[in-house]
Structure 1
Amino acid sequence: MSGPHPIEDLLRTCAPQVLGALVRRYGDFDLCEDAVQEALIAAARQWPGEGVPDNARGWLLTVAGRRYVDLVRSEAARRRREDAVALATPDAELLAHAADDDRDTDADDSLALLFLCCHPDLSPPSRIALTLRAVGGLTTAQIAAAFLVPEATMAQRISRAKQTIRGAGLTLAPPEGADRTARLAEVRHVLYLVFNEGYTASAGDALTAPELSTEAIRLARMLHRLVPDDPETAGLLALMLLTDARRPARTGPGGELVPLAEQDRGSWDGALIAEGVELISRTLPRGRVGPYQLQAAIAAVHDEAPSARDTDWPQILALYELLERTGPNPMITLNRAVAVSMVHGPEAGLALLDGLGADRLLARNHRLLATRAHLLELLGDRAAAAEAYREAARHTTSAPERRHLTERARRLG
């Protein structure tokens, strides 16, 4: 994907609004989503040369509506059946309706659309792919490139997701009560996964996939606007901002990984840090504190430290202990072990890691192995640390991480 562009930003903003209007009008998510994608592609081709229409959303809704009729008629011809929508609504009437219906062009169904794309009936990979395409306005090719999979594979994933929506009869109607709370948590989790994949790509030659983390932040901003009183959504956005602020310093001139303690803090994004700190400082006192708020608070402590040596590790350890109480998780314990080692010494941190080694799923995880190597290095056991770094390098699928771990082992001999 290319960098930020005014037309691209406008299209991504309009995408969920237009799709929501079309789904609310016709109910067929599958064909409506295809129609909106074609409208977005048409706009991307025409607007740079012809100029952006005064009513950009109305233009997109008009074109998407016309394409929807074409798709319905094609579907009807192929299946030898007639669709009432296509027969009852002539093109001219449809175009006038799409351009003039203020309820469609003014209403914003973005939150309902996020709920639909993150429905629990869909698999986690399907939720991610469908959210990026339907709400993010990304093409299948863009999503596939970001996740380093063939376009055909991503197309199948999106197609299966839409088939699930159709087969289960899922609608745009937003959930209520406890279901709404649970679905909002699913939406946050999907955006969190997208951000994490962008901040540290799980595979490939590049350490980061900035287009994914940037898109996750954009969608988190949108979600925060839609549910401004939800503290965990605010916490998620703050966490993304405070974490992404360090991205410029995470790689060296050759794309090599630079650990947090060795980063040039002067190249961190001060504006993102200020925004994230202000957001989490305003959110924490408002009510029950959840995991995203606690993670954001930890990130804020790191970002506000003038140097690695000046980091307030006792405060970070206290926050990790609170975080672990909200929901025990091996990765949280792994991070707590680092904080424990910084406060109480590497032996105490290694003792925590010994317990994690009993977890079969985590035992060969490169992050556990790399953390053990780091603590052994702090302890002064160079030989054991080097072997642990080499073992971690063998288990990572990220080329930059593999090179970094191998180099750490080489330095220790």
Structure 2
Amino acid sequence: MIDPAAFRTAWPQVVRSLAVTTRSLDRGEEYAAEAFARAAAQPGGTIDDLVGWCVQVGRRTWFDALRHRTVFDRLQPQLARPEVADVDVPHAPGDDLDDRLALLFVACDDALAPGAQLVLAMRVVCGLTIRQIAGHLGIAEATAAARLTRAKSALARARGEFAVPDEHAREARLPVVLACVAGLFTVGQREALQPADATQDPARDAYTLAEALAAEYPDDPEVLGLRAVCRLGLARRPGRVRDGVALPLDEVDRMAWDHRLLRAGLDDAAAALAHYSGPDSVSPGRFALEAAISGVHATAPDAAGTDWPRLAQLYDVLLATWPSPATRVARLVVLGRLALRDGGDLAPVEHELEKLVAEGPPYAARDASLALADLARRSGRADDAAGRYRELLDVVPEGPLREFCRQYAG
């Protein structure tokens, strides 16, 4: 049995190599999947170089398909070469780029609609399932699947042969790439508070991609902001679960946090915001703001000592920059905490949360429901809280968060 981590590491390298060979991202993914399936069936210890073995098998499988075409006789002298891990092609833009980043930049082609870019990148490169992609984007699974199919066809029509975009094109596609990596991290944090298998941890995968992006763009404030979000989120993940049950913010064990990663994340957050200082600077971008928000939580001594007014200010700016349902829910959570602390009126906050439950995408509706249950619990309305937590048992997947809901459902 080959280590699953080895498969995850090898996958982007094999896809990229076969995409170059077949001149198609879609075919590269297809033949890579076939090669990996054959590798998984091999007895343990028989494959020394997983990447080279899979590339060789993928190429041979493609050659077999080509034999049924008349063009094969013309192509055989060029294609049937002994090299397996490298394809003999001239140096092209992005040849020294991390393989997963290279595929991300290919998938985030501006010839595709933004929704199609995200679906293609999240599926082919990030490895998310159609269910996870649909949940993150707030669309039906059938819609996500259809977008994926259309995106592959549109990319083939628009660009023809597979090629990694040049530096200028990559710069233009960077915002979508960042959104893809952020989406991968969000899925990981939402679904795996305590991953049982480190090889199936989307949040860690996102952090790896953020590191690779920072290596390519060390002075980009949004790249640094995204890496800060990943670092701070992962640093605060230990201590969030006790005996299989998620803990509310007030009970999180802050001593269990990864303080080395925390310091690195705070350094990134500070560096990201520094780019926006000065009289001629523009407003901070989405990820610099999200990093600042994570930094406020990370530096608070406890939940009561959190600078909630500062968080409210930051969310107001973030909402203007990135007015997503997730931002709206998070801002309302902060406003609710302020109302509870200062004896304010919860009704306006709860009204807005109820609207998101009724009208928002599924992920926002779930988070808004959790926020309403939390406000009811904290304000002493035990019966109301228990009823909301019972309803959440039907929508929260198995895991620590569901066990938390069960604990308060009564």
TM-score norm. by structure 2 comes to 0.75
Q: Which one of 178, 189, 193 corresponds to residue 188 of structure 1?
A: 178
The answer to whether 1:128 aligns with 2:122 is: yes
Is the 8 Å Cα contact of residues 116 and 172 (structure 1) preserved in structure 2?
A: yes
Indicate the SS of the match to 1:248.
Answer: coil
Deviation, structure 1 residue 113: 2.4
Q: Deviations over 1:7-63 (max 9, x none)?
A: x39x82x764665465456523334445556777899999x959978xxxxx946x5
Q: Residues 36 and 394 of structure 1: is their aligned pair in 2 closer, same or farther, counting only changes over 3 Å?
A: closer
Partner of 2:83: 95
What is the aligned partner in structure 1 of residue 139 from structure 2? none
Contact 1:15 1:36 in 2 (8 A): yes
Secondary structure in 1 matching 2:306: coil
The CA deviation at 1:262 is 0.9
1:3-402 correspondence runs (5 A): 8=6, 12=9, 16=12, 19-20=15-16, 23-24=19-20, 27-34=23-30, 60=51, 66-67=56-57, 69-78=59-68, 80-83=69-72, 86-89=75-78, 91=80, 93-95=81-83, 98=86, 103=91, 107-109=95-97, 110=99, 111-119=101-109, 120-121=112-113, 122=116, 124-132=118-126, 162-169=152-159, 171-174=162-165, 180=170, 183-201=173-191, 211-253=201-243, 255-287=244-276, 288=282, 289-345=284-340, 347-359=344-356, 360-362=358-360, 365-402=365-402
Counterparts of 1:231 and 1:71, CA distance in 2: 44
Contact map agreement 2:286 2:318 (CA 8 A) in 1 = yes
1:215 Cα deviation from its structure 2 partner: 1.1
- Give a deviation string over 1:249-284, Cα, whole Å, max 9, x none: 22222x211122211111111121111111111121
Residue 337 (structure 1) shift: 2.1
- SS of structure 1 residue aligned to 2:247: coil
Please list, as runs of the form range in 1=range in 2, the aligned pairs for 1:394-413 lying within 5 A after superposition.
394-410=394-410
Any gaps of 5 or more consecutive residues in structure 1?
Answer: 54-58, 134-142
Whole-Å separation in 2 of the counterparts to 1:363 and 1:155: 18
Percent identity, aligned pairs only, is 27
Q: Do 2:232 and 2:262's aligned partners in 1 also have CA atoms closer than 8 Å?
A: yes
CA distance in 1, matches of 2:319, 2:274: 20
SS, match of residue 358 in structure 1? helix
For 1:24 and 1:99, locate their aligned partners in 2 and report how far apart those are by CA, in whole Å.
7
TM-score, with normalisation over the residues of structure 1? Answer: 0.75
Contact 1:238/1:275 (<8 A) preserved: yes
Who is 1:138 aligned against?
none
Q: Which moved more, 1:366-375 or 1:162-171?
A: 162-171
CA distances 1:292-312 after superposition (whole Å, capped 9, x unpaired): 111111111111222222222
| Structure 2 counterpart of 1:172, one-letter code | A
Q: 1:106 to 1:67 in 2, by over 3 A?
A: farther
Which ranges in structure 2 are unaligned for 5 or more consecutive residues?
A: 135-141, 277-281
CA RMSD of aligned residues (A): 4.4
- Measure the CA separation in 2 of the matches of 1:106 and 1:327: 30
Question: For residues 278 and 347 of structure 1, do their structure 2 counterparts lie closer, same or farther at Cα, with a shift above 3 Å needed?
Answer: same
> Hey, what's the Cα distance between the residues in 1 that align with 2:201 and 2:387?
35
Choose 193-202 or 102-111, whichever is displaced more.
102-111
Name the one with the larger helix percent: 1
**How much does 1:188 deviate?**
1.5
Query: Which segment is superposed worse, 216-225 or 348-357?
Result: 348-357
- 281-290 vs 159-168, which deviates more? 159-168
What one-letter code is carried by the residue in structure 1 that aligns with 2:288?
Q
Shift of 1:324: 1.3
In the TM superposition, residue 116 of structure 1 has moved relative to its aligned partner by 1.4
SS of alignment partner, residue 355 of structure 2 = coil
Amino acid at match of 2:259: G
